[in-house]
Amino acid sequence: MLDDQNVIKQRDPSGALSVAAAEWQQTQFQPEVVNGDNDGRELKSIVLTGMGGSALAALLLKTWLKDRLSLPFEIVRTYDLPEYVNQNTLVIASSYSGNTEETLSGLAQARARGAQIAILASGGQLVETANAEQIAYVELPGGLQPRMAMFYNLNALVTLLAHFRVVPIETLGEILSVGDWLKSETAKWLPTTPTVNNYAKQIALEAAGKSAVFYGGTLTAPVAYKWKISWNETGKNLGFWNEFPEFNHNEFLGWTSHPVEKPFVVFDIISNLEHPQILKRFEISDRLLSGKRPKSIRIELRGDTPISQMLWGCILADFASMYLAVLNGVDPVPVELIERLKQELR
């Protein structure tokens, strides 16, 4: 089925696979900060408020730059900001649509507390507020689902942090430099590449008809979370995630007994740059759980640096989940139930 181009076109009417094929181009996005003047106040902490795909770039960035960020950086995925937020906090309101109610709530609180504020959005109320109040912002290219615009968001986030002197602007070059390599890797997962040579199609076939569980390590946890997002929103398929070493302190035991029948597929997201003890935990855990759960399938990230491996894993997640959607007979793009929930909340 996955090698039948007519079936692909019928089940991907919105062209999601074409969007995935062009994701590498997003790494070349060089954002402009609008309303860039700021008072140069001392910053002592950073908070990003955002939900779902609009928070994903921040999760990747925190792991990628964990040894280079000199300020505490918290990601808030709810309505309320931490009590410590004040005039020495940089609050970044991130919502691809610009209308996410949790993010708008966080923005209102940041303004009330006199925080330094910046905005990431493709439009909506956030950009309207930024222009009206002369708040620094980056306007993201529109027309995509948030989970498919994550690379735009990542480049914009790095640019904003550089603007406020949290990271050097040269950091953006680490993303720009992997674009051509990601383009060549992406070609291996296109619909025209047959299943026998197409890793993304093979993963989708392994997962079809089952609920997926994605495990990451300290370095790969954000990538595992990305796979969970793509599985749920794109594949319209149950998917869960967790990370090592926390897994070994609770969920590890959950696999050993009930329910006896376990219709799951387990994926371990592996990086050769991971802490050696984390890599040992993956191997030992799978051996000790032999016969108690499905044997894990290793997805070994390619690339020479943490950021190249993360971006490679994120694009692969999009392709695999889109092929899963084809197998499930669902359109990869719409998230109708989420939109209905938002309407009813309003």
Q: Which two tokens stand for residue 130?
A: 């930024």
Print the SS3 string covering 142-155: CCCCHHHCHHHHHH
18 part of a folded domain: no
Quote the CA–CA distance of 233 and 53 in Å, as a whole number: 10
Active site residue 233: yes
Flag whether pLDDT at 40 surpasses 90: no
For every residue of 176-244, DSSP letters joined together read HTTHHHHHHHHGGGSTTS-GGG-HHHHHHHHHTTSEEEEEE-TTTHHHHHHHHHHHHHTS---EEEEET
Q: Are residues 41 and 9 in the same domain?
A: no
Range of the domain at 270: 5-13+179-328
Same domain assignment for residues 76 and 138: yes
Q: What is the pLDDT of residue 4?
A: 97
- pLDDT per residue over 127-161, tens digit each? 999 999 999 999 999 999 999 999 999 999 999 99
- Annotated active-site residue in 23, 139, 233, 274: 233
CA distances from 15 to 12, 55, 85 (A): 6, 24, 42
62 flagged as catalytic: no
Tell me which of 83, 170, 249, 261 is the catalytic residue: 249
Q: In 12-123, where does DSSP find H-type helix?
A: 16-21, 23-26, 53-64, 101-112
pLDDT digits (tens, 9 = 90+) for 158-213: 999 999 999 999 999 999 999 999 999 999 999 999 999 999 999 999 999 999 99
pLDDT of residue 84: 98
Q: Name the domain count of the chain.
A: 2
The Cα–Cα gap between 59 and 71 comes to: 15
Amino acid at 50: G
Of the candidates 163, 262, 275, 342, the residue annotated as catalytic is: 342
In terms of domains, do 34 and 54 share one?
yes
Q: Give domain status of residue 19, yes or no.
A: no
Residue 346 has pLDDT above 90, yes or no: no
Domain boundary (176, 193, 226) is at: 176
Tell me whether residue 249 is one of the annotated catalytic residues: yes
Q: Which tens digits make up the pLDDT trace of 84-119?
A: 999 999 999 999 999 999 999 999 999 999 999 999
Whether residue 167 is found in the same domain as residue 32: yes
Beta carbons of 159 and 172 less than 8 angstroms apart: yes
